[in-house]
Structure 1
Amino acid sequence: MALKRIQKEKTQYLQNQIQGVTVKFDEQNPFQLYFTIEGPRDTPYYGGQFNYKLNFPPDYPFKPMKITSLQKVDHYSNYSCILERCNCCSPQNLLLRQQDWSPQLTFYSQIKSIVQCFFTEQFTHLEDVDTNQSRLYKNNRQQFNFNIKSTIAEEKAKQQIIQFIIFERCIKQFMSLNSGSIFIDLFF
């Protein structure tokens, strides 16, 4: 039953995708998918890419899926966050709250709920949240926004370094296989 439901949801998702979200289905494991949320415009998250892994349990949809954030994401919808142990989406397994789960919910609805966490204008009930980040958000929003943008810039820099290292290794391998003149002919 779980596999049939997952396939149905996958088909529905492909017909009605969420803007700013890329979903990659794991063809080797139909009980797993990955998704990336692009930081929305007009938010401090703009320019960032936030990666998640979603695992369906064997008794889905009667049990909630498990979502794992693959990097830390500071956000302030903790008060209504769909994820237990969120801690601002630190990289750990994030369990959907059992009391909030219903078999009628889909992975589409859960991804959409996570996307909403990135819209700071929708934050309310901040008095119910007491974390270092929520205090910073309440007391110094400019610093909060700066911290988010700095984290995004650091992540982009890491990705560029990784890409450069991979490129450098490919060039070195190419150079060892081919003569210098062929290398020069290819790039000039």
Structure 2
Amino acid sequence: MGSIKRISKELTELTESPPEGITVELADESNVYEWKVIMEGPESSPYYNGKFLVKLSLPTEYPFKPPTVSFATKIYHPNVTNDEKGSMCLGMLRADEWKPSSKIAAVLQFARQLLSEPMPDDAVEGRIAEQYKNDRGRYEEVAREWTRKHAC
């Protein structure tokens, strides 16, 4: 029961004063464990002017187990899987690195920060990471193209 109280508190904080470029709501009013997040592409990134739907799922053991974050909107990024799952690789969300004191706001801010500064050495899409490292211009071109095509 403690987790629902904490989740509700964090949800209230996030809806009342959301981090820059991030809007949060419940995916379904009757389920506090599934959140719908709209993340705007940061100005300094090839995702600028795109709005991405991000799903955040909280385990019932939250905050002792990390949430999962995935992009429902297709995105060309080294740290997000290029399939329909859109799983995001975030170090802080790994079971061995997660701290119960971590807040969902910090998770979302970190995820948005990754749009500006991908971490190619922690990539789930090796090919995109290589391109990011070796041909930044082409990477940004494709990322912008995908943003135009897939992000609202």
State the TM bucket, normalised to the shorter chain: 0.7 to 0.9
Counterparts of 1:137-156 in structure 2 under 5 Å? 137-155=132-150
- Corresponding residue number in structure 1 for 2:54: 52
Q: CA deviation at 1:27?
A: 1.5
Gaps of 5+ in 2: none
- Corresponding residue number in structure 2 for 1:70: 72
Instruction: Give the alignment's TM-score, normalised by structure 2.
Output: 0.81
| 1:136 has 2:131 as partner | yes
Larger Rg: 1
User: Residue type matched to 1:4 in 2?
Assistant: K
Higher RCO structure (Cα 8 Å, ≥6 apart): 2
Q: CA deviation at 1:90?
A: 4.4
- Corresponding residue number in structure 2 for 1:104: 101
Question: Separation in 1 of the partners of 2:121 and 2:6?
Answer: 39
Question: Separation in 2 of the partners of 1:56 and 1:74?
Answer: 25
Q: Considering only aligned residues, what root-mean-square deviation do their CA atoms show, in Å?
A: 2.4
Q: Secondary structure at the match of 1:132?
A: helix
- Corresponding residue number in structure 2 for 1:184: none
Question: Separation in 1 of the partners of 2:84 and 2:20?
Answer: 24
Question: Separation in 1 of the partners of 2:32 and 2:103?
Answer: 15
Q: 1:101 to 1:36 in 2, by over 3 A?
A: same
- Corresponding residue number in structure 1 for 2:25: 24
Contact 1:21 1:35 in 2 (8 A): yes
Q: CA deviation at 1:28?
A: 1.7
Instruction: Give the alignment's TM-score, normalised by structure 1.
Output: 0.67
Question: Separation in 2 of the partners of 1:56 and 1:110?
Answer: 12
Contact 1:69 1:90 in 2 (8 A): no
Superimposed CA distance per residue, residues 58-100 of structure 1 (whole angstroms, 9 cap, x where no aligned partner): 1211111122221332334x4xxxxxxx43x644255731011
Q: Secondary structure at the match of 2:13?
A: helix
Q: Secondary structure at the match of 2:56?
A: strand
Contact 1:37 1:51 in 2 (8 A): yes
What percentage of residue pairs aligned between the two structures are identical?
Answer: 28
Contact 2:14 2:24 in 1 (8 A): no
* Structure ranking higher in helix proportion: 1
- Corresponding residue number in structure 1 for 2:37: 35
Q: Secondary structure at the match of 1:100?
A: coil
